[in-house]
Amino acid sequence: MAIVTVSEENHLEEVNLPKSYRVAILGATGAVGTELLQLLDQRQFPLADLKLLASARSAGQTLEFQGSRLTIEEVSEKSFDGVDLVLASAGGSTSKQWLPKVVAAGAVAIDNSSAFRMDPQVPLVVPEVNPEAAATHQGIIANPNCTTILMAVAVWPLHQVQPVQRLVAATYQSASGAGARAMEEMKAQARAILQGETPKTEIFPYPLAFNLFPHNTPINEQGYCEEEMKMVKETRKIFGAPDLRITATCVRVPVLRAHSEAINLEFSEVFSPSRAREILSQAPGVRLVEDWQANYFPMPLEASGLDEVLVGRIRQDISHPCALELWLCGDQIRKGAALNAVQIAELLVAKDLIKPAAALVAS
C-alpha cells in the first residue's frame, strides 16, 4: 500500500507501507485451526483483520488471539465478503462447498483438505520443495497430506542430488491426523483401559490406545488405502515426477500429535549415508537427530511442537547397494498442516500474490 507523506523539507513523498491482509480461518476450532491461530500470532503474519469460522456447533464461542477474545461465526454465504485470504481446515466436503465461494469473493484460499489437491489447476505446495508453484494459483492452493509433507521435506534435498528411483514408506501416524476429537477419544480410551473399562470408539473404528491399526481410509481395488495413495500421487505432483515409483503402508499408532515414517530410497548409484547426512544437515526445514552410541534418534514426543522434520538413522540398505534407509518424525499439526499453510501464505505475501478484496471490488 502506498501513502503520501510530507517530508521535513516539505516535499511530498510516496511511502510504501507493508500490506496487511484480512484473513479468515475456516475450521478455527479444530486441531489445525487452533494451531493456525497460534502461528499467525507467533510468526507475526501481517493481519488487518481475523475472522474465525466453523460450524453452527461452535458459533458464538470465543477463542483468544493476541489478548482479545474473538467470536466464532458459523460459515455462511457472506463470510468471505471483504476477506483477502482464507486458511481452510474443515474437511473435504466443507472445502468443496465453500472454497468456490471464496474464489468468487476474490479471496485466495489455502486448503488443508484433500478436496482440490489433485486438481491440475490447483498448485500443491511444500515451500521447501516447490515454492514456485504457488505463483500459478487461480484462487486455491492446496496444502498436501501431512505424511506427504513430512516425507517431501526430507526426501527432496536428496532427490535433487540424485533422483530417487523408488521410494518405499511405512508410516506411524498419530491420532491428531484425525482431528481434535480423535485426540480426545484416544486419551479417553487410555483412561478407560487403565480403569479396566471397555474403551469407546466414535471417531476411530477400533480402539487406538494401547493398539494400532492400518490407516482406516477406503481401500482401492489394488489393496491400497486412500492415505497410501495420497502419499503416492501427491509426492509425484509436488516433485514434478509423475513416474516416480512409490509404495507406502500407512498405520495409525497411539501417539498424540507427531507422525513417524520409515523410508527406503533407491537410487541408480551408491548414495553414501555420510553424503546424505551432510546434505540433510543443511536442508531447509530438516533437523538431523542422530546419536548412534546412545541409540538416540527422532521420536514423535520430541518432534511435537517443533517446526522442523527430525531425520535420523540414515544408513545403507544392506539388501541393496544403491539404497538408503532413513527414519523421520514431524509434528503432524504443525509442519504437516498448519505451519505449511502459513508458510504458503507468507510466500504469497512475499511475492505479492494476494489481491486484497477491496482492490478487486474497486477495479
Is 33 or 207 the residue whose CB approaches ligand A2P more closely? 33
Q: Is 308 exposed, middle or buried (0-12, 13-18, 19+ CB in 10 A)?
A: buried
Report how many residues bind ligand A2P under the rule CB under 6 A: 17
Q: Residue 308 Cβ, how far from ligand A2P at the closest point, in Å? A: 23
Is 76 or 268 the residue whose CB approaches ligand A2P more closely? 76
Q: What character string, x for contact with ligand A2P (CB under 6 A) and - otherwise, covers 37-76?
A: -----------------xx-xx----------------x-
Residue 94 sits in the site that holds ligand A2P (CB under 6 A):
yes
Active-site residue, 146 included? yes
The interaxial angle of helices 180-194 and 31-42, nearest 10 deg, is 120
Q: Which stretch binds ligand A2P (CB under 6 A): 161-169, 178-186, 294-302, 339-347?
A: 178-186
The residue with cell 498442516 is 337
Cα gap 169→196, rounded to integer Å: 36
Q: DSSP assignment, residue 296?
A: B
Catalytic one among 146, 215, 250, 329?
146
**The only residue of 177, 179, 199, 356 in contact with ligand A2P, by rule CB under 6 A:** 179
Residue 196: left (phi > 0), alpha (psi -120 to 50), or beta?
left
Residue nearest to ligand A2P (CB): 30
Q: Residue 233 Cβ, how far from ligand A2P at the closest point, in Å? A: 22
Please report which residue ranges of the chain form alpha helices under DSSP H: 31-42, 92-104, 146-161, 180-194, 226-239, 273-281, 300-303, 339-350, 357-362
C-alpha dihedral sign at 147, 319, 275, 293: positive
Residues recognised as catalytic: 146, 259
Residues lying near ligand A2P in the complex (CB under 6 A)? 27-31, 33, 54-55, 57-58, 75, 90-91, 94, 179-181
